[in-house]
Amino acid sequence: MASSMELDQLLLPVNTTVAALALAVVVIVLVHVVLNAVGRRGLPPSPVSLPVIGHLHLLRPPVHRTLHELAGRLGPLMHIRLGSTHCVVASSADVAAELIRGHEGSISERPLTAVARQFAYGSAGFAFAPYSPYWRFMKRMCMSELLGPRTVEQLRPIRRAGLVALLRSVLQAAPEAVDLTRVLIRMSNTSIIRMAASTVPDSVTEEAQKVVKDVAELVGAFNADDYIALCRGWDLQGLGRRAAAVHRRFDALLEEMIRHKEEARKESAASGSKDLLDILLDKAEDGASEIKLTRVNIKAFIIDVVTAGSDTSAAMVEWMLAELMNHPEAMRKVREEIDAVVGRDRIVGEADLANLPYLQAAYKETLRLRPAAPIAHRQSTEEIRIRGFTVPAQSAVFLNVWSIGRDPAFWDDPLEFKPERFLPGGGASENLEARGQHFQFIPFGSGRRGCPGMGLALQSVPAVLAALVQCFDWACPGGDDKTTTSTASIDMEEGDGLVCARKHPLLLRGEPRLIPFPPLV
């Protein structure tokens, strides 16, 4: 009896603790339910959330597909809570149009994550800078000078050199299979770095490619610091420390790029084609400029351009080639058009694009189905009302570009790859361009925060694809890696991250089809 009483006394504190914890859990859940019910008043439809994490438990990679599935149940305008952050998701062309046309001034900011803030030098860059005189100045300079038609044209030889290197690597590998994912990323990275700073030595370019890969992984990773208030400042995943180390490496490379450029400018005052760094340094030295660019502004902009333009271009070429291989009739039409317009004694180039309408249609169809940036991110600066619902200030606003491109209200057979829809009589041809004016087709975003590199992408991506299709017959390696098959389909599984790339490397054999092969110039 005594021992039993002693045991009860020993267990009493444990039982009391368990009961207290159970009561605390019940209270937290009840408070959450009440606050959730009150807080959701006036907000767009939303799934049931959990305490602390909100709807984070519902998100699975790739996130744009998860949001697409939720929108199928909740509608084209919905509310989700990622930890402490309110988010509104637009999944149809009509809702996107209402947000951009009706509330552009209220959603003109971009959410800045903890990792992105490091690489943007705070708000010194352009991509994440707040809407301000500095941002408007940089936007005008992007559209007219840095990424405008004249500069894109002047830098064409750099892109051509990258394409030549790509074709040479495929030729040298034949008849073995080539990892096109790897060589396309290398070509894209090298070209964009050379367009940014053409005078840097190869060693800097090589190191920059490695750093850009690290930046893409860090910026695309989920960081609890950004969403869960209890985690802020603790860097529980170590992403902040990793980002700081990568940023130091990138900053050192940028300083070396600028130093080489400054030395080259001193040695040669000749006026010729200018790369992006030349244009930025000219503005920094211009005493009459309305905004005085600092060295930090310049470094932040170069990071913006290099990280945003590298993987996206490579991913689009890869998606387009994969779609054409899975649709042999479309591949045949693209190839026959190139042969008819360009011939077989020279390699197709950017200057030929205007005369290749089917190629352009195939590119548009790839952009519709496989946008490189499947979600456009905005942030509300004030409370707005849309469709009878309230969007609180400081809410993240997501435009699900991937869903919008599949909106059945605007697209017949929206899941099918049909380039013909963009040709005369195809149902989507009349003045439909990817420049953000038609909300059923916004692969580069729309409005003030639309992608400033759109013009470059519309030139470079189809030209690379055209050369790959013109110069080689492509086939999948066989099971024993010694045979090939032209009938095997390419898997189209998507990876995770800010850039929507294929999940698995694209391994193909390229058999030269132009004999003799044209000079690689």
Fold of the 40-512 domain: Cytochrome p450 (1.10.630)
Q: Which of 201-210, 366-375, 408-417, 428-437 has the lowest mean pLDDT?
A: 428-437
Q: What are phi and psi of 199, to 5 degrees?
A: -95, 0
Alpha-carbon distance of 141 to 132, in angstroms, equals 14
- pLDDT band at 24; cut points 50, 70, 90: very low
Q: Check residue 199 and give its pLDDT.
A: 86
Q: How far is CA 217 from CA 15, 115, 242, 259, 370, in A?
A: 47, 11, 11, 28, 20
Look at residue 13 and tell me whether its pLDDT is greater than 80: no
Q: How far is CA 19 from the centre of its chain?
A: 49
Look at residue 159 and tell me whether its pLDDT is greater than 90: yes
Q: Which conformational region is residue 474 in: left (phi greater than 0), alpha (psi within -120 to 50 degrees), or beta?
A: beta
Work out the average pLDDT over 193-221: 89
Q: Check residue 271 and give its pLDDT.
A: 55
Work out the average pLDDT over 252-261: 94
Element (H, E) at 311: helix 295-326
- End-to-end, the C-alpha distance of the chain in Å comes to 98
Q: Check residue 35 and give its pLDDT.
A: 44
Q: Check residue 498 and give its pLDDT.
A: 82
Alpha-carbon distance of 206 to 403, in angstroms, equals 37
**Position with higher pLDDT, 13 vs 444:** 444
Work out the average pLDDT over 186-215: 91
The string of DSSP letters for 371-438 reads -SS-EEEEE-SS-EEETTEEE-TT-EEEEEHHHHTT-TTT-SSTTS--GGGGSTTSSS-TT--SSSSS
Q: What is the pLDDT of residues 285-338, one digit of tens each?
A: 999 999 999 999 999 999 999 988 888 999 999 999 999 999 999 999 999 999
Element (H, E) at 365: helix 357-369
Per DSSP, helices labelled H in 40-179 are 63-74, 93-103, 114-119, 133-141, 149-154, 156-173
Q: Coil, strand, or helix at residue 481? A: coil
Look at residue 34 and tell me whether its pLDDT is greater than 80: no
Work out the average pLDDT over 132-155: 95
Q: What are the tokens at 498?
A: 């800010």
Alpha-carbon distance of 224 to 317, in angstroms, equals 33
**Position with higher pLDDT, 31 vs 389:** 389
Residue 199 makes CB contacts below 8 A (sequence gap 6+) with 260, 261, 264, 275
Alpha-carbon distance of 446 to 437, in angstroms, equals 7
Q: Coil, strand, or helix at residue 92? A: coil
Work out the average pLDDT over 121-146: 93
Q: Which of 12-26, 36-50, 409-423, 468-482 has the lowest mean pLDDT?
A: 12-26
Q: Coil, strand, or helix at residue 67? A: helix
Look at residue 18 and tell me whether its pLDDT is greater than 70: no
**Position with higher pLDDT, 37 vs 61:** 61
Give the CA count within 13 Å in the CB-facing half-sphere of 147. Answer: 23
Alpha-carbon distance of 177 to 157, in angstroms, equals 28
Q: What are the tokens at 92?
A: 């149809």
Alpha-carbon distance of 235 to 238, in angstroms, equals 5
Q: What are phi and psi of 92, to 5 degrees?
A: -135, 160
Q: What are the tokens at 283?
A: 């503005």
> Cβ distance 83 to 228 under 8 Å?
yes
Work out the average pLDDT over 370-380: 96
Q: Coil, strand, or helix at residue 349? A: coil
Q: Check residue 497 and give its pLDDT.
A: 82
Work out the average pLDDT over 204-208: 88
Residue tagged 């849309």 (tokens): 386
Alpha-carbon distance of 501 to 464, in angstroms, equals 17
Q: Coil, strand, or helix at residue 74? A: helix
Q: Check residue 26 and give its pLDDT.
A: 45
Residue tagged 């149902």 (tokens): 427
Q: Check residue 230 and give its pLDDT.
A: 86
Strands 77-82 and 85-90: antiparallel
Cis, bond preceding 516 (omega within 30 deg of 0): yes
Q: What is the pLDDT of residues 458-507, one digit of tens each?
A: 999 999 999 999 999 999 997 555 555 556 689 999 998 888 999 999 99
Average per-residue pLDDT for the chain: 89
> Cβ distance 501 to 495 under 8 Å?
yes
Q: What are the tokens at 66?
A: 């998860």
Q: Check residue 389 and give its pLDDT.
A: 97
Q: Check residue 6 and give its pLDDT.
A: 52
- pLDDT band at 268; cut points 50, 70, 90: confident
Q: Check residue 31 and give its pLDDT.
A: 42
> Cβ distance 174 to 512 under 8 Å?
yes
Any idea where the domains of the chain sit in the sequence?
1-39, 40-512
Q: Check residue 135 and give its pLDDT.
A: 96
In this structure, the number of other CB atoms found within 10 A of the CB of residue 59 comes to 15
Look at residue 226 and tell me whether its pLDDT is greater than 80: yes
> Cβ distance 168 to 520 under 8 Å?
yes
Q: Check residue 484 and give its pLDDT.
A: 58
pTM, rounded to two decimals:
0.90
Q: What are phi and psi of 298, to 5 degrees?
A: -65, -45
Q: What is the pLDDT of residues 432-458, one digit of tens each?
A: 899 999 999 999 999 999 999 999 999
Look at residue 154 and tell me whether its pLDDT is greater than 80: yes
| Percent of the chain as helix, strand, coil, to the nearest 5 | 55, 10, 35
